[in-house]
Chain A
Amino acid sequence: MVSWTCAILLIASAIWAGTVENSSENLARCLADPTRNDGVRIKVFQEAQILNGDRPGSLVVRERGRGAGVQARLEGADGVSPGTNTVTIVGIFHAPDILRVEELRIHEGRNMKIYFSVPVVFLLGIWLARGFRLTRNGLEAR
Protein backbone atom coordinates (compact mmCIF):
# COMPACT_ATOMS: atom_id res chain seq x y z
CA MET A 1 0.00 0.00 0.00
CA VAL A 2 2.81 2.41 0.96
CA SER A 3 4.77 1.53 -2.17
CA TRP A 4 1.75 2.04 -4.41
CA THR A 5 0.97 5.39 -2.79
CA CYS A 6 4.55 6.57 -3.32
CA ALA A 7 4.58 5.37 -6.93
CA ILE A 8 1.29 7.10 -7.73
CA LEU A 9 2.43 10.33 -6.07
CA LEU A 10 5.70 10.26 -8.02
CA ILE A 11 3.97 9.71 -11.35
CA ALA A 12 1.39 12.40 -10.58
CA SER A 13 4.17 14.82 -9.58
CA ALA A 14 6.01 14.21 -12.84
CA ILE A 15 2.89 14.74 -14.94
CA TRP A 16 1.90 17.88 -13.04
CA ALA A 17 5.35 19.51 -13.08
CA GLY A 18 5.96 18.58 -16.72
CA THR A 19 2.60 19.90 -17.84
CA VAL A 20 3.09 23.20 -16.03
CA GLU A 21 6.64 23.53 -17.38
CA ASN A 22 5.59 22.83 -20.96
CA SER A 23 2.66 25.24 -20.74
CA SER A 24 4.90 28.14 -19.71
CA GLU A 25 6.29 30.59 -22.27
CA ASN A 26 8.96 28.63 -24.12
CA LEU A 27 10.56 28.23 -27.52
CA ALA A 28 8.31 25.38 -28.68
CA ARG A 29 5.16 27.39 -27.92
CA CYS A 30 6.57 30.50 -29.61
CA LEU A 31 7.43 28.53 -32.76
CA ALA A 32 3.96 27.00 -32.82
CA ASP A 33 2.40 30.48 -33.09
CA PRO A 34 5.21 32.93 -34.00
CA THR A 35 3.08 35.97 -34.81
CA ARG A 36 1.17 35.88 -31.56
CA ASN A 37 4.35 35.34 -29.51
CA ASP A 38 6.43 38.03 -31.20
CA GLY A 39 8.30 39.97 -28.51
CA VAL A 40 7.82 37.36 -25.78
CA ARG A 41 10.72 36.90 -23.36
CA ILE A 42 11.64 33.21 -23.02
CA LYS A 43 14.18 31.00 -21.31
CA VAL A 44 15.87 28.24 -23.30
CA PHE A 45 17.55 25.68 -21.06
CA GLN A 46 16.11 22.19 -21.62
CA GLU A 47 19.15 20.43 -23.11
CA ALA A 48 19.77 23.34 -25.47
CA GLN A 49 22.79 23.51 -27.77
CA ILE A 50 24.15 26.09 -30.18
CA LEU A 51 24.65 24.78 -33.72
CA ASN A 52 25.68 26.19 -37.08
CA GLY A 53 22.82 27.71 -39.06
CA ASP A 54 22.11 27.17 -42.74
CA ARG A 55 23.95 30.37 -43.75
CA PRO A 56 27.71 30.76 -43.18
CA GLY A 57 28.40 32.38 -39.83
CA SER A 58 24.82 32.06 -38.61
CA LEU A 59 23.91 30.25 -35.42
CA VAL A 60 20.82 28.46 -34.20
CA VAL A 61 19.84 27.19 -30.78
CA ARG A 62 18.13 23.81 -30.55
CA GLU A 63 16.23 22.92 -27.40
CA ARG A 64 16.03 19.12 -27.42
CA GLY A 65 14.01 19.00 -24.20
CA ARG A 66 11.02 20.56 -25.97
CA GLY A 67 10.79 18.10 -28.83
CA ALA A 68 12.21 17.50 -32.29
CA GLY A 69 12.77 20.48 -34.54
CA VAL A 70 12.54 23.11 -31.82
CA GLN A 71 15.19 25.56 -32.92
CA ALA A 72 15.55 29.28 -33.52
CA ARG A 73 18.06 31.52 -35.25
CA LEU A 74 20.21 33.44 -32.79
CA GLU A 75 20.80 37.17 -32.86
CA GLY A 76 23.12 39.00 -30.52
CA ALA A 77 25.28 35.97 -29.76
CA ASP A 78 28.48 37.52 -31.12
CA GLY A 79 31.67 35.68 -30.28
CA VAL A 80 29.85 32.45 -29.46
CA SER A 81 30.91 29.26 -31.21
CA PRO A 82 28.76 26.19 -31.80
CA GLY A 83 29.70 23.22 -29.66
CA THR A 84 28.57 20.16 -27.78
CA ASN A 85 28.15 21.94 -24.44
CA THR A 86 24.64 22.76 -23.34
CA VAL A 87 23.61 26.39 -22.96
CA THR A 88 21.09 28.51 -21.13
CA ILE A 89 19.70 31.52 -22.96
CA VAL A 90 17.32 34.23 -21.89
CA GLY A 91 16.09 36.23 -24.84
CA ILE A 92 13.26 37.83 -26.79
CA PHE A 93 11.50 35.77 -29.44
CA HIS A 94 10.73 37.41 -32.78
CA ALA A 95 8.66 35.88 -35.58
CA PRO A 96 9.18 33.74 -37.46
CA ASP A 97 12.04 31.97 -35.65
CA ILE A 98 14.52 34.47 -34.21
CA LEU A 99 15.78 34.60 -30.64
CA ARG A 100 17.47 37.87 -29.67
CA VAL A 101 19.88 36.99 -26.87
CA GLU A 102 19.80 38.97 -23.62
CA GLU A 103 21.78 36.57 -21.46
CA LEU A 104 23.71 33.49 -22.49
CA ARG A 105 25.59 30.96 -20.44
CA ILE A 106 27.58 28.07 -21.91
CA HIS A 107 27.92 25.12 -19.54
CA GLU A 108 31.58 24.36 -20.13
CA GLY A 109 32.68 20.96 -18.88
CA ARG A 110 29.16 19.52 -18.80
CA ASN A 111 30.24 16.54 -20.91
CA MET A 112 33.22 16.01 -18.63
CA LYS A 113 30.84 15.83 -15.68
CA ILE A 114 28.88 13.10 -17.43
CA TYR A 115 32.00 11.10 -18.34
CA PHE A 116 33.37 11.36 -14.79
CA SER A 117 30.03 10.31 -13.34
CA VAL A 118 29.81 7.01 -15.25
CA PRO A 119 32.62 5.24 -13.33
CA VAL A 120 31.04 6.44 -10.08
CA VAL A 121 27.82 4.63 -11.02
CA PHE A 122 29.80 1.41 -11.48
CA LEU A 123 31.59 1.99 -8.16
CA LEU A 124 28.22 2.48 -6.52
CA GLY A 125 27.05 -0.82 -8.00
CA ILE A 126 30.10 -2.55 -6.52
CA TRP A 127 29.46 -1.00 -3.08
CA LEU A 128 25.85 -2.13 -3.19
CA ALA A 129 26.81 -5.65 -4.28
CA ARG A 130 29.33 -5.83 -1.43
CA GLY A 131 26.89 -4.39 1.11
CA PHE A 132 23.75 -6.33 0.26
CA ARG A 133 22.59 -9.66 -1.05
CA LEU A 134 19.29 -10.24 -2.74
CA THR A 135 17.01 -12.60 -0.83
CA ARG A 136 13.37 -13.59 -1.22
CA ASN A 137 12.43 -10.92 1.34
CA GLY A 138 14.43 -8.13 -0.25
CA LEU A 139 17.90 -6.68 0.10
CA GLU A 140 19.64 -8.06 3.16
CA ALA A 141 22.86 -6.58 4.54
CA ARG A 142 25.81 -8.94 4.17
Chain B
Amino acid sequence: MPDLVGHIAFAAITRHIPGLEVPAETPKKHPGRATLAAYYLGAALPDLLTRPFHISMPILGPYLEVWHSPACVLLWGVLLGRMFVAPRRAAMLAALMFGAANHLVLDLIQKHIAGGYLFLFPFSLTRTTLGVLWPEQTVILSAALAAVAILIVRRRRPDSVSSPISG
Protein backbone atom coordinates (compact mmCIF):
# COMPACT_ATOMS: atom_id res chain seq x y z
CA MET B 1 0.00 0.00 0.00
CA PRO B 2 1.47 3.31 -0.95
CA ASP B 3 0.27 5.73 1.71
CA LEU B 4 -2.69 8.04 1.13
CA VAL B 5 -0.32 10.90 0.33
CA GLY B 6 0.89 8.91 -2.68
CA HIS B 7 -2.61 7.93 -3.74
CA ILE B 8 -4.01 11.47 -3.52
CA ALA B 9 -0.93 12.86 -5.28
CA PHE B 10 -1.27 10.29 -8.07
CA ALA B 11 -4.95 11.19 -8.39
CA ALA B 12 -4.06 14.89 -8.53
CA ILE B 13 -1.66 14.14 -11.41
CA THR B 14 -3.90 11.83 -13.42
CA ARG B 15 -6.89 14.16 -13.31
CA HIS B 16 -4.94 16.45 -15.61
CA ILE B 17 -4.25 13.76 -18.22
CA PRO B 18 -6.26 14.57 -21.36
CA GLY B 19 -8.85 11.93 -22.21
CA LEU B 20 -9.41 10.80 -18.64
CA GLU B 21 -12.33 13.15 -18.07
CA VAL B 22 -15.10 12.51 -15.63
CA PRO B 23 -18.57 13.44 -17.05
CA ALA B 24 -19.10 17.17 -16.95
CA GLU B 25 -21.38 18.73 -14.38
CA THR B 26 -23.24 21.99 -14.15
CA PRO B 27 -21.10 24.45 -12.20
CA LYS B 28 -22.85 26.12 -9.32
CA LYS B 29 -21.18 28.52 -6.96
CA HIS B 30 -17.94 26.53 -6.78
CA PRO B 31 -17.33 24.81 -10.12
CA GLY B 32 -16.36 21.18 -9.78
CA ARG B 33 -15.69 21.22 -6.06
CA ALA B 34 -18.09 18.37 -5.33
CA THR B 35 -16.83 16.24 -8.22
CA LEU B 36 -13.29 16.78 -7.10
CA ALA B 37 -14.17 15.77 -3.52
CA ALA B 38 -15.86 12.60 -4.80
CA TYR B 39 -12.85 11.88 -7.01
CA TYR B 40 -10.37 12.17 -4.15
CA LEU B 41 -12.65 10.15 -1.89
CA GLY B 42 -12.50 7.43 -4.56
CA ALA B 43 -8.72 7.70 -4.68
CA ALA B 44 -8.56 6.86 -0.98
CA LEU B 45 -11.59 4.57 -0.84
CA PRO B 46 -9.99 1.08 -1.09
CA ASP B 47 -7.66 1.87 1.82
CA LEU B 48 -10.37 3.65 3.83
CA LEU B 49 -12.54 0.54 3.57
CA THR B 50 -9.88 -1.85 4.78
CA ARG B 51 -6.81 -0.37 6.49
CA PRO B 52 -8.40 1.10 9.64
CA PHE B 53 -9.85 -2.34 10.45
CA HIS B 54 -6.74 -4.20 9.30
CA ILE B 55 -4.56 -2.14 11.64
CA SER B 56 -6.85 -1.76 14.67
CA MET B 57 -8.48 -5.22 14.49
CA PRO B 58 -6.00 -7.45 12.59
CA ILE B 59 -8.21 -10.50 13.06
CA LEU B 60 -10.63 -8.94 10.55
CA GLY B 61 -7.84 -8.53 7.97
CA PRO B 62 -8.34 -11.83 6.13
CA TYR B 63 -12.07 -11.07 5.81
CA LEU B 64 -11.99 -7.41 4.84
CA GLU B 65 -9.02 -7.49 2.44
CA VAL B 66 -11.40 -8.50 -0.31
CA TRP B 67 -13.03 -5.06 -0.11
CA HIS B 68 -9.83 -3.77 -1.69
CA SER B 69 -10.60 -5.73 -4.88
CA PRO B 70 -12.01 -3.92 -7.95
CA ALA B 71 -15.29 -5.84 -7.75
CA CYS B 72 -15.94 -4.91 -4.11
CA VAL B 73 -14.80 -1.32 -4.62
CA LEU B 74 -17.36 -1.10 -7.43
CA LEU B 75 -20.06 -2.43 -5.09
CA TRP B 76 -19.03 0.07 -2.43
CA GLY B 77 -19.11 2.80 -5.08
CA VAL B 78 -22.67 1.91 -6.02
CA LEU B 79 -23.61 1.82 -2.33
CA LEU B 80 -21.98 5.17 -1.57
CA GLY B 81 -23.27 6.62 -4.84
CA ARG B 82 -26.82 6.18 -3.49
CA MET B 83 -25.98 8.82 -0.90
CA PHE B 84 -25.64 11.52 -3.56
CA VAL B 85 -28.72 13.46 -4.63
CA ALA B 86 -30.25 11.95 -7.78
CA PRO B 87 -29.62 14.44 -10.62
CA ARG B 88 -25.85 14.34 -10.14
CA ARG B 89 -25.55 10.83 -8.81
CA ALA B 90 -24.08 9.40 -12.03
CA ALA B 91 -21.43 12.12 -12.27
CA MET B 92 -20.44 11.66 -8.63
CA LEU B 93 -20.31 7.89 -9.01
CA ALA B 94 -18.11 8.26 -12.11
CA ALA B 95 -15.75 10.57 -10.23
CA LEU B 96 -15.65 8.18 -7.28
CA MET B 97 -14.87 5.19 -9.51
CA PHE B 98 -12.27 7.08 -11.54
CA GLY B 99 -10.50 7.92 -8.29
CA ALA B 100 -10.73 4.32 -7.09
CA ALA B 101 -9.32 3.07 -10.40
CA ASN B 102 -6.33 5.37 -9.85
CA HIS B 103 -5.81 3.83 -6.45
CA LEU B 104 -5.92 0.25 -7.70
CA VAL B 105 -3.53 0.97 -10.61
CA LEU B 106 -0.97 2.36 -8.18
CA ASP B 107 -1.33 -0.63 -5.85
CA LEU B 108 -0.94 -3.00 -8.77
CA ILE B 109 2.73 -2.06 -9.25
CA GLN B 110 3.78 -3.51 -5.89
CA LYS B 111 5.88 -6.58 -5.27
CA HIS B 112 5.28 -9.11 -2.47
CA ILE B 113 6.88 -12.39 -1.41
CA ALA B 114 3.48 -13.30 0.08
CA GLY B 115 0.23 -11.44 0.46
CA GLY B 116 -0.77 -8.88 -2.11
CA TYR B 117 -4.16 -7.93 -3.48
CA LEU B 118 -7.17 -9.93 -4.61
CA PHE B 119 -7.47 -8.12 -7.95
CA LEU B 120 -9.17 -11.05 -9.66
CA PHE B 121 -11.93 -11.54 -7.08
CA PRO B 122 -14.56 -13.10 -7.46
CA PHE B 123 -13.05 -15.13 -10.30
CA SER B 124 -9.98 -16.08 -8.30
CA LEU B 125 -8.65 -15.63 -4.78
CA THR B 126 -5.09 -15.56 -6.12
CA ARG B 127 -3.12 -12.56 -4.91
CA THR B 128 -1.79 -10.72 -7.94
CA THR B 129 0.43 -7.70 -8.51
CA LEU B 130 2.78 -6.61 -11.29
CA GLY B 131 5.79 -6.83 -8.98
CA VAL B 132 7.63 -3.59 -9.77
CA LEU B 133 8.28 -2.00 -6.35
CA TRP B 134 8.52 -3.39 -2.82
CA PRO B 135 5.98 -1.80 -0.44
CA GLU B 136 8.74 0.04 1.45
CA GLN B 137 9.99 1.61 -1.80
CA THR B 138 6.62 3.25 -2.30
CA VAL B 139 7.45 5.68 0.52
CA ILE B 140 9.92 7.33 -1.86
CA LEU B 141 7.41 7.02 -4.69
CA SER B 142 4.81 8.85 -2.60
CA ALA B 143 7.20 11.70 -1.90
CA ALA B 144 8.05 11.97 -5.61
CA LEU B 145 4.37 11.88 -6.61
CA ALA B 146 3.52 14.55 -4.04
CA ALA B 147 6.28 16.81 -5.42
CA VAL B 148 5.05 16.34 -9.01
CA ALA B 149 1.42 16.89 -7.97
CA ILE B 150 2.30 20.15 -6.19
CA LEU B 151 4.19 21.36 -9.29
CA ILE B 152 1.28 20.47 -11.59
CA VAL B 153 -1.37 22.00 -9.34
CA ARG B 154 0.65 25.21 -9.01
CA ARG B 155 1.16 25.43 -12.77
CA ARG B 156 -2.46 24.62 -13.60
CA ARG B 157 -4.11 26.81 -10.98
CA PRO B 158 -4.88 29.81 -13.27
CA ASP B 159 -6.87 27.63 -15.72
CA SER B 160 -8.08 25.06 -13.19
CA VAL B 161 -11.75 25.59 -14.15
CA SER B 162 -11.08 24.11 -17.60
CA SER B 163 -9.24 21.04 -16.29
CA PRO B 164 -10.94 17.63 -16.66
CA ILE B 165 -12.07 17.56 -13.04
CA SER B 166 -11.92 21.16 -12.12
CA GLY B 167 -11.44 22.27 -8.56
Please, which residues of chain A bring their CB within 8 A of the CB of B84?
Answer: 132, 138-141
Please, which residues of chain A bring their CB within 8 A of the CB of B106?
Answer: none
Q: How near does chain A come to B35, taking the closest CB pair, in angstroms?
A: 8
User: How many Å lie between the Cα of A46 and that of B55 in the bound state?
Assistant: 10
A103-B113, A109-B136 are known contacts. Are A13 and B86 too (CB-CB below 8 A)? no
User: How many Å lie between the Cα of A127 and that of B82 in the bound state?
Assistant: 19
Give the A-B pair count, Cβ closer than 8 A: 174
Q: Which interface class (under 10, 10 to 19, 20 to 34, 35 or more) fits B?
A: 35 or more
Query: Which A residues are closer than 8 A to B by beta carbons?
Result: 2-3, 6-7, 9-10, 13-18, 20-22, 43-47, 64-67, 88-90, 103, 105-110, 112-114, 116-117, 120-121, 123-124, 127-128, 130-132, 135, 137-142
Query: Which B residues are closer than 8 A to A by beta carbons?
Result: 1-5, 8, 25, 28-30, 33-38, 40-41, 44, 47-48, 51, 54-55, 58-67, 69, 71-72, 75-76, 78-79, 82-86, 88, 92, 112-115, 118, 121-122, 125, 134-136, 138-139, 142
